[in-house]
Amino acid sequence: MNAEYKLLIEQARALIESEPDPIANAANLASLIYHNVSDLNWAGFYFYRKDELVLGPFMGQVACTRIPIGKGVCGTAFETKQTLVVADVHEFEGHIACDSTSESEVVVPFSFNGQTNIQDGVAGVLDIDSPVKNRFGAAEQELFELLAHLYVQESEGSV
């Protein structure tokens, strides 16, 4: 991981380590990511609520409010419990175009152990979009997975 991303992890840790509220932490992380990772047009969270993903804190253009489980990149990552890195969203079968300028996407599912309103341990997804095809590689996947892990670690006691 490059020095810039290592610094971003440390900034995220400092930003949320003393705040237990998961919504406040999601809002600050979305802003931190959006303003510090180049070539993004959306960064935010969706939370599992009553058999669908519901929009949480984000930065960027307006977004889809609800996403069915198993649909689009977010719903698929949630259902499979695996990070998805999509080089060209237009080639992803069933892609949901919340913002027509998005070209590539990374979605990281996360879970809060012990939370009651979750599906098989998954509580939501961290979703990052770019207007540039092939924007995300292994370094960005690692960065976003570490940020999602940090988010859960710092917020888990409050959900």
pLDDT in tens, 116-158: 455 555 689 999 999 999 999 999 999 999 999 999 988 765 5
Mean pLDDT of the region 57-62: 95
Domains of the chain: 3-158 (3.30.450.40)
**pLDDT score of 116:** 44
Picking from 119, 115, 121, 127, the residue whose alpha carbon sits closest to that of residue 159 is 115
Mean pLDDT taken over the chain: 90
**pLDDT score of 50:** 85
